[in-house]
Structure 1
Amino acid sequence: MLIGKVLGSTEIEVDGVVADLGGPLPRRLVTALLAAEGRPVAEPTLAEAIWGDEAPASPTSSLQANVSRLRRTLGRPALARAGEGYRLAVDDTDAARFAADVRRGRELLADERPGEALRLFDSALARWRGDAYADLPHTYARPALEELRAVAEEERLAARLTAGDAPGVTGDLEAAVTAQPYRERRWELLILALYRGGRQADSLAALRRVRKRLADDLGIDPGPALQELEGRLLAQDPGLLLASRPAPAVRPLSHFFGRAAELAALSELLASARLVTLVGPGGAGKTRLAIEYAAARDPWFVRLADVTEPALVPAAVAAAAGVRGATTDAIATALGDRPGLLLLDNCEHVVAAAAELTLGLLARCPRLRVLATSREPLAVDGERLLPVAPLPAADAIALLTDRITAVRPGWRPGPEESATLTRLAAALDGIPLALELAAARARVLGLAELLDMLHDRFPALGPVPRGALAPHETLEAAVAWSVDLLGADDRAMLLRLWPFEGGFPLSAVEDDLDALSSLVARSVVVADTTVTPARYRLLEIVRAYCRQHDPDREDSRERHAAWVRRLVERHAPLLRGDRSAHSVRLLNRELANLRAGIVHDLGVRPAAALRTAGLLEWLWFRGGLVAEGLPLLRAALAAAPDAPATDRARAHLGASMLRYMSGDQGATDDLYEGLDLLGDGPDHDGAILATQAAYYESLYWSFRGDFERAIAPARRSIARSTTLGEEWIRPAAEMSLGAALAGAGELDEGRRVLAAAREQAIARGQGWTAAMCGLLLARALLARPAQPGAALSVVREALDLFDAEDDVGNVLAGLHTGAYAMVLTGRVAEAARLLVAVRRAAGRRGLDPDLADPIRAAALAAAIPQTELEAAEGNDDQDESALLALLGPKSGNT
């Protein structure tokens, strides 16, 4: 992307980097081409611009040489031959952006939005770095730009005056008329500022000064605007003072959606409290909600977004209330004990001044109530807060549909567009401002295109429509307003949080509760205190803004990935202990962050990615996360061939378990690859892993029905756990032995070993191992068809334990076994219904319960008629907790 800069020394930015244009001659060439604004410039004109009267003997050759050098810098398409000359095509120029900002600022000022206008004029004037076309001063374009610059300076002062800053702007206006005494607009503003500041005599004196100056120097009278102002001054026209904004007695023109609960709560709060503040993120609809509530109550509406300085807050309130004195005392005296509602909108940037004024008014006006909107509380005694959250999904979709219909007459979404609308509303977090702007873009873009816009960059959704209540021109401006109000440290923290996916806990910000509380209080971070530990997240529009404005995105990604690595190192070892359920839930909650951290490390530190993905083997397994974990393990193994043997072995063993769960017959490839990597002399961690791998191997062969082959690795695991002194492995090792013995025909011994292993696991707080012992015991009982009722009861108890451990994969495996037990008790139709539901739920996770348990699968296929399965196919899907009920209640002691 090429950006030309001519408001100062000429520059060309190529994809954000200032290009080296060379010496003064090529700079003049570029300047002359930029001055033509994309039109071709003939060679003689260019030669005159570059050399003037000192052209070389062969200007054409010299010109072509300069063009050739510039093409290497800017690209041949940008600097192209055109007829008898050349043209320079750039994507934009600072001059064009300056002119657009000035034009829009004047429109905002005319629309009585001086605060926004002032910000645009500031932005426009900040683009100037010196004289326009400084490298080529003799250009017709320069006077026009300089004139527009003078206009922008004047209109900026007008915006300050309109916003109520008459005392503060007077000095700058005095300097402005001194600098250019013949520009009557400056005198007009100065005279008005003096009058509004209570200096009527000085105002008339200024009028006499300009009249005398024009007569003495130019022999002319003041123009029509000054003459009209003179008449109004002499008549003391009250309209010269700041006009109060009309109260929002009429509702906005667009439909209002949702917020019934908030409106009811607002009515209840203001019936008992005298100050209620609507708090929430930018664009959430606080202003609209306040106006919907206040519209029938004839409030004094104060738009504080237009107030640029805290000292001007009393003046804005006075103007809205029709009070001449711009002090708290004057306003309180005028209001007295009159009942009324004061609506202070957008307090966040002047929160201290708004709080001070509110406190003073409430203390002296006993029948006054104040409704404020802000991104942070006013922190006044007695204040009641009403959070304004983004719209829920149904209301967000309704609003989006209504606004799109407004720009697409006759449009009705079909099934595909309805699905896209749902995703679009979710991507915009239900933020009304974002939904409004997206709908406006739907006039020229398809819904799928709009959705694509939100994936990788901050949504460029355009300006708000005229007459809208939003105090900001664009969605980015709304977010920037919040971010810019933060202190430097808080802002730096916020900009680093964008890599977190799906939220984060307090530990993600190094337990800096004060800083995080500040971000929550200012509504740029959302807190969910209904879960333990509390969880925090950035709205997606805030997250996109932070991603775009983070000064060091790679460092932020690295910080996030380092946090993921620490989290996994701390909690992965707990996945088998007495706190395993807690760790499973905690890591499951961070699943999106785990994925993002591993994916980052795959590109920059693959060995770390391999270790992290491998340490999560039991999370992948217990959560039935085949589709999530297996690709990450595969990618990490491929990316880190030189990683430590123990880490590679662990990853292979994890991949083996997941492949088995998915029904992949090649699961033993990874199993034995892992065992081979551990070899005979691993480190201590490797020895522990080899001991665990031995009972993995035993369970694998038992599940495949090769029970004789399963006995030896189970005994090896038991022996190694004792030798290593890692007795915590023993219950799982003995469990695998019991399953092998029962399947090999030693049913009573197998059941005894399984029962003993279960007792050991319970004593050690190993809930998962106790649950697996129960499931394997049930399968042993099912080997004797005379005991299906007892097996079903054991399955039910095991499932409760698996459910408590958040082990989705084995809940489904247990339900699959339960279906077989139900068949043996004669409940064939119910078993068919359960089996179909289990297959559906497993399929969504990449699991195959039939291939993972071929013994029961074969028996089920023989026992359940196809007609029963087809009838069950018509039932709705159910989640795993609902499926437990199909087994019936536990029968008690087993």
Structure 2
Amino acid sequence: MHSYASRVLIGKVLGSTEVEMDGVPAELGGPLPRRLVAALLAAEGRPVSEDALAEAVWGGEVPARPAASLQAYVSRLRRSFEQARGPGSALARAGDGYRLTVGDTDAAGFTADVRRGRALLDEERPGDALRAFDAALARWRGEAYADLPETPARTRLEELRAVAVEERLAARLATGDAPGAVGELEAAVRDEPYRERRWELLILALYRGGRQAEALAALRRVRARLADELGIDPGPALQELEGRLLAQDPGLLLPSRPAPAVRPLSHFFGRTEELAALAELSTTGRLVTLVGPGGAGKTRLAVEFAAPRDPWFARLADVAEPTLVPAAVAAALGVRGSTAEAIATALGDRPGLLLLDNCEHVVRAAAELTLVLLARCPGLRVLATSREPLGVDGERLLPVAPLPAGDAVALLTDRITAVRPGWRPDAAERAALDGLATALDGIPLALELAAARARVLGLAELLEMLHGRFPALGPVPRGALAPHETLEAAVAWSVDLLSAHDRAVLLRLWPFEGGFPLSAVDDDLDALSALVARSVVVADTTVTPARYRLLEILRAYCRGRDDDPAGSRARHAAWVRSFVERTAPELRGERSAHAIRLLNRELANIRAGIAHDLHAAPRAALRTAGLLEWFWFRGGLVTEGGRLLRAALDGAPDAPPADRARALSCLGTLCFMTGDEPAAEKALRDAIDVLGPSPDREGWTVRAQLHYYESLLRSATGRYEEAVAEGRHAMAVGRRIGEERLVAAGEMTLGWALAAGGDPRAGRRELTGAIRRATAIGQRWTTAMSELLLGRALLLSTGDEPADPAAALAALRRAVDHFTAEDDVGNVLACLFTGAQALIAAGRRGDGVTLAAAVRRNAARRGISPGAADPLGAAALADLLAGVDPATVPAVDEDAMIGLLGPPARQD
């Protein structure tokens, strides 16, 4: 039975009049009832008298008895609305007229979107504002209130639509895409040549795009047009722009709004010339690199410039190995995978700004990645910070020097005021400020550190401590984040103020990449609190568990001063091993999704720990990589996981049998996912051989897993009798060692082997049992996989067991919901791949083709073969799609792909 309690009607007036429920239009009838509905919607829920409705419906030709006709229309409309909405009509009598109550209208949504876009533009979030205006304008299907004669509501909405067009173009211009905005602005001024706001934006876009002469020509065009056709001069805004244009005001190259709200909380000082130069360089080159000594403020300058342009921010300071640069950039972009190819494919021709921060220790890798992205992604611009140029053709360089004396003193004064409320420097303190700015070479980070110490020391004392106190710390290992020597001295002085215990804790934290949790300091909360309070460690309490990281320069200092760097790396690797040992088992339980999130958060540390152990402790590397078997393919890291597993297997031939077998099992699974069935079969066979006939308990657990992996593989290669036997073996071993989860997994593979082998009825029965068993013990992933296989089984038929596409779609949707909650991207794609076959079988060929093409595109970006585990379905789908050109199929996003399967499963 349906519940209508929360069902509401949606009115649409930005085009022909419509009323719909859940996307399904209600039947309104001919033009006269549509006018009636439009007039009621225009009243926005207020009563409308019969006379006013008659005027709206018939205009100047009102019939003799309009009330009777209105009542007839109202009666039919009520029935139509009740069919869509349920009992309780939205159209009711009110006084001497009628009232129509709807949950929302596209006009109200349009107005709200425009209001939101303007607010985002005021907050200097042009990227978000652009999306809001796009959403607003996408609601229009034609003329507002098209079924009514002239109405003030139409006039108001059309004016707001014109404003929205202009504000959208202003937002695009504010993102830094001046060249791309010119074409749209030229069309806009042709459509509305007397709207001066459009001319202002066009002239500014031309100027920022390096087309100064054309900007002046456009100014002359609008001036002449206004004079010749209207006999008036341009308004004040255009006149002011003309003056600034003729004066070549450098401020025209910068966004005209104030600094963005989303930025570091402290004030920014100086750099006016650098900001103007950066704006100019960014219009002539797609790669601009800020170069200068460590601590000179390159990152802060880049952030101040980029923030209004809504950039992607890739922090490379945490990347220890050049080979990991693509992975770090992919993480910043939200792209799954860790190759330049995956990033370029995901970006396509989308416009955007990528900020590559701190490239100096990975210059070659950053340069190679930048070359690929700029060549493949025409809408991309790159802003980099580094101690040396990237050396890429077309690169524009902007040197960033330390702050001049005046700005350095202003920064010091501001920061000291923040820690000394009400402080005003006297003459002696002003002299000390000048001395501090000189002694610290105007390096912003050194100034920040000095100001922080003003909480406990007078300025004269600070200056006295600086004299002769900052010798160079000497060279640090090649590839480290080597700082400027004066900045090094400032960091040394800051660290020397820590207690011996806290300093020791700090010095061993440098190997952690991308941050660390409390457990990284052996849960020493007191020491960590002291490091955070003294501003040498940054805390992020917006995530759970809280996360911490060293400032870039402090990490470099600790690496250089650590008297046992090999020991620190070994301790870091031991922490990674312990973390994986604790977390990886949760991948199979009720906290699976939580475990995936934790492992993703620590991925940089995991990579570094395994890289260390491959050389120093290969048996440990093998165990860690094998324990992460589910993480590699559920996290979309199939290629990387396979590479690490092969390296660990080669490096640890004498590892314990259970560890080698687990790693081989995992390698087989990853090979299977990439479509390499011979390699998968060999890896699984080698794993069984390694275990031998009498393994220990951990070995028996691995053996049970191998049996159900073998069952899935043999089903995929058409050896169904063998697959049935392997599924039964998995269940038997699971019962023998008391592991109910392995019994459920074996039952799952047995069910699929039976169904694919010619007995769909028996297979569906076993799969339904596996779903019940897995659900009862909280094995959500096994539940999801069983639902996926049940969906496939429901598409198979024999003489007495027909296929059931509708039930298959329902099972697949349940599986998708479970896999999504588990962050298992690979198997979501597997569900959608089977879903395409189900849609076609259900008679929805268009939806099936769209979904199949979308799945293939997404799977290719992740290095996955979606049909590897389902050759029957893959063959059937290939036959059904024969002759379809993928290029002609529209692209859809993930939500739309999932939506094609049907609504989410209801919870009883």
Q: Which residue of 1 aligns with 2:494?
A: 485
1:639-659 CA-partner distances (Å, limit 9, x unpaired): 011111111111000000000
Residue 306 of structure 2 corresponds to 394
| Counterpart-to-counterpart distance in 2, 1:678 and 1:734 | 23
Displacement after TM superposition at 1:733 (Å): 1.1
**What does residue 687 of structure 2 align with?**
674
Aligned pairs for 1:763-782 (under 5 A) are: 763-782=776-795
Letter in 2 for 1:562: A
Contact preservation (8 Å) 1:832, 1:868? no
C-alpha distance in 2 between matches for 1:653 and 1:508: 31
C-alpha separation between the residues in 1 aligned to 2:553 and 2:493? 15
Q: 1:847 aligns with which of 842, 857, 864?
A: 864
Give 1:826's match in structure 2, choosing from 808, 826, 843: 843
Inter-partner Cα distance in structure 2 for 1:586 and 1:612:
15
Unaligned residue ranges in structure 1 (runs of 5+): 1-252, 267-277, 293-387, 401-414, 430-436, 454-459
Decide whether aligned partners of structure 1 residues 724 and 550 sit closer, same or farther in structure 2, where only a CA change above 3 A counts: same
**For 1:835, which of 835, 840, 852 is the aligned residue?**
852
Partner amino acid, structure 2, of 1:620: W
Asked if 1:424 corresponds to 2:356, the answer is: yes
Checking the alignment, whether the CA contact within 8 Å between 2:260 and 2:307 is kept in structure 1 is no
**Aligned mate of 1:858, from 872, 875, 895:** 875
Deviation string, structure 1 residues 379-413 (Cα, Å, up to 9, x no partner): xxxxxxxxx9982783398999xxxxxxxxxxxxx
After TM superposition, give the deviation of residue 492 of structure 1 in Å. Answer: 3.4
Q: Which amino acid aligns with 2:508?
A: R
Instruction: Calculate percent identity across the aligned residue pairs.
Output: 50
Q: Is there any run of 5+ residues in structure 2 with no aligned partner, and where?
A: 1-249, 275-299, 313-346, 362-382, 409-436, 444-482
Tell me if 1:888 matches 2:902: yes
Deviation at 1:792, TM superposition (A): 0.8
Q: Which amino acid aligns with 2:621?
A: A
Q: Secondary structure at the match of 2:605?
A: helix
Q: Is the 8 A contact 2:360 2:386 kept in 1?
A: no
Partner Cα distance (1:801, 1:727) in 2? 20
Q: Which residue of 1 aligns with 2:755?
A: 742
Cα deviation, 1:549-575, whole Å, max 9, x if unaligned, reads: 433322221111000000111122222
Cα distance change, pair 529–390 in 1 and its aligned pair in 2 (3 A) = farther
Deviations 1:709-761 (A, max 9, x none): 20001111111112222233111111111111112222222111111111111
CA gap of 1:613–1:439, structure 2 versus 1, over 3 A, is closer
Q: Of the candidates 724, 728, 737, which is equivalent to residue 737 of structure 2?
A: 724
CA distance in 2, matches of 1:791, 1:538: 51
Equivalent AA in structure 1 for residue 603 of structure 2: L
**Displacement of 1:630:** 0.5
Q: Kindly indicate whether residue 712 of structure 2 is the aligned counterpart of residue 696 of structure 1.
A: no
Q: 2: CA distance between counterparts of 1:840 and 1:539?
A: 40
Q: Does 1:614 align with 2:614?
A: no
Paired residue type of 2:510 = W
* Aligned pairs for 1:211-222 within 5 A: none
- TM-aligned CA distance change 1:820 to 1:439, over 3 Å: closer
> Which residue of structure 2 lines up, in the alignment, with residue 817 of structure 1?
834
Q: Which structure has the greater CA radius of gyration?
A: 1
Stretch of structure 1 that moved more, 549-558 or 569-578: 549-558
Displacement of 1:259 after TM fit? 13
Task: Kindly provide the CA deviation profile for residues 799-843 of structure 1, in whole angstroms up to 9, marking residues without a partner as x.
Answer: 100111111111111111111111212332332332222222222
Q: Does 1:638 align with 2:576?
A: no
Distance, in Å, in 1 between the alignment partners of 2:564 and 2:760 is 64
Shift of 1:613: 0.5
Q: Hey, what does 1:529 align to over in structure 2?
A: 541
On the 8 A contact 1:691/1:717 being kept in 2, the answer is yes
> Please, which of 462, 469, 485 is the counterpart of residue 407 of structure 2?
469
1:612-670 deviations in Å (ceiling 9; x for gaps)? 11111121132232112110000000001111111111100000000000111221010
Q: 1:440/1:450 Cα in 2 relative to 1: closer, same or farther (>3 Å)? A: farther
Give the 3 Å change call, closer, same or farther, for CA 747–650 of structure 1 in structure 2. same
* Structure 1 contact 438–450 (Cα < 8 Å) conserved: no
User: Retained in 1: the 8 A contact 2:356–2:385?
Assistant: no
Distance 1:479 1:260 in 2: 37
Question: 1:269-668, aligned counterparts within 5 Å?
Answer: 286-287=268-269, 391=303, 394-395=306-307, 422-425=354-357, 427=359, 445-448=389-392, 464=402, 466-467=404-405, 469-470=407-408, 471=437, 472-473=440-441, 474=443, 476=484, 477-478=486-487, 481-482=490-491, 484-486=493-495, 487=498, 488-666=500-678, 667-668=680-681
Letter of the aligned partner of 1:668 in structure 2?
A: E
Q: Which amino acid letter does the alignment assign opposite residue 657 of structure 1? A: T
Counterpart amino acid of residue 481 in structure 1: A
Change (3 A) 1:496 1:639: same
Question: TM-score, normalised to structure 2's length?
Answer: 0.50
Q: Residue 634 and residue 439 in structure 1: after superposition, are their counterparts in 2 closer, same or farther (change >3 A)?
A: closer
The aligned counterpart of 2:805 is: 788
Are 1:875 and 2:875 matched, yes or no? no
Query: 700, 713, 719: which one pairs with 2:726?
Result: 713
Q: Relative to structure 1, is the Cα distance of residues 639 and 831 closer, same or farther in structure 2, using a 3 angstrom cutoff?
A: same
Partner SS, residue 539 of structure 2: strand
Aligned residues: 504
Task: Find the residue that maps to 1:849 and give its secondary structure.
Answer: coil
CA distance in 2, matches of 1:518, 1:450: 47
Return the offset for 1:426.
6.7
Q: Which residue of 2 aligns with 1:43?
A: none
Residue 545 of structure 1 and its aligned partner are, at CA, apart by 4.1
1:598 is displaced (CA, Å) by: 0.5
Find the residue that maps to 1:782 and give its secondary structure. coil
Which whole-Å CA distance do the structure 1 matches of 2:633 and 2:265 have between them?
43
CA spacing shift, 1:263–1:645, aligned 2, 3 Å = closer
Partner Cα distance (1:705, 1:519) in 2: 61
1:751-800 alpha-carbon deviations (Å, 9 max, x no partner): 11111111111110110010011001000001136411110111001110
